Chain A
Amino acid sequence: MKRASLPGPILMKRVYRFVLLVLACATSFAFWRMRRTVPLEDTDSLLLGEVSNRSGEAIFDESLREALRIALSQ
Chain B
Amino acid sequence: MNLISDEKVRDVSRKRGTSENQALTADFAKQICAELDAAAYLTGIVVYADAEYTVQLDVNRCKGGSRIADSRGSAPREELLIHQLGVAAVQLREELGEDAGSLQKFDTPLERATSPMPSALKAYADARKVLREQGDLAAVPYYRKAVEADSRFAVARSGLAVSLYNLNQLDEAAESIRQAFEAADRQTARERLNISTLYYDMAQGDVEKAIEGYQEYIRIYPRDDVALGNLSSEYFVIGEYEQAAKYSAAALKINPDAAAWYENYSTALLALDHPEEAERVLKEAFARKLDDASLHANIYSIAFLRTDQAGMRQQLDWAEGKPGGDSLVAAQSDTEAYFGHLQNARQLTRKAIYMAKSAELPESAATWSAEAAMREAVLGYPKEARELVHEALQFAPHSKDVRALAAVVYARIGDEQDARAIAGDLQALYPANIAIQKAWLPMIRAQLAMNKRNYEEGLQELRVVSPYERGQLTGNVSDSCMMPVFLRGESLLALNKSADAVTEFQKIESSPGLVVNCWSGSLAKLGMARADAQLGAKTDAKLWYEKVASLWAGADADIPVVKQANLELSKIH
Contact = CB atoms under 8 A, between A and B. Distances in A.
Interface of A: 1-16, 19-20, 35-57, 59-74
A73 B52 CA distance: 27
Contact of B472 (A1, A64, A68): A1
Contacts of A42: 1
B35 to A, nearest CB: 10
Given A15-B97, A62-B122, A5 B113 contact: no
A53 B129 CA distance: 17
Contacts of A1: 232-233, 236, 244, 263-264, 267, 472, 476, 478
Interface residues of B, number: 113
Interface string B215-259: 000000111111101101100100000001000000000110011
A4 B418 CA distance: 36
B4 A48 contact: yes
Interface string B34-51: 001111111111111000
Nearest to B132: A6
B328 interface: no
B59 interface: yes
Contact of B97 (A11, A14, A53, A61): A14
A67 B121 contact: yes
B246 to A, nearest CB: 14
B124 interface: yes
Given A6-B128, A45-B4, A57 B48 contact: yes
Nearest to B102: A13
A67 B229 CA distance: 24
B128 A59 contact: no
Contacts of B55: 51, 64
Given A1-B232, A9-B255, A46-B2, A20 B97 contact: yes
Contact of A71 (B67, B85, B132, B244): B85
A1 B110 CA distance: 32
A60 B131 CA distance: 19
Nearest to B41: A47
Given A66-B121, A70-B113, A8 B224 contact: yes
A60 B46 contact: yes
Interface string B58-85: 0101100011110000000010011001
B108 interface: yes
Contacts of A12: 1, 93, 96, 98, 102
Nearest to B294: A2
B4 A39 contact: no
B198 A3 contact: yes
B221 A53 contact: no
Which residue, of A59, A64, A73, has the highest number of chain B Cβ atoms within 10 A?
A64
11 contacts: A3-B202, A14-B1, A46-B38, A47-B3, A47-B62, A49-B28, A60-B46, A60-B118, A66-B125, A70-B155, A71-B110
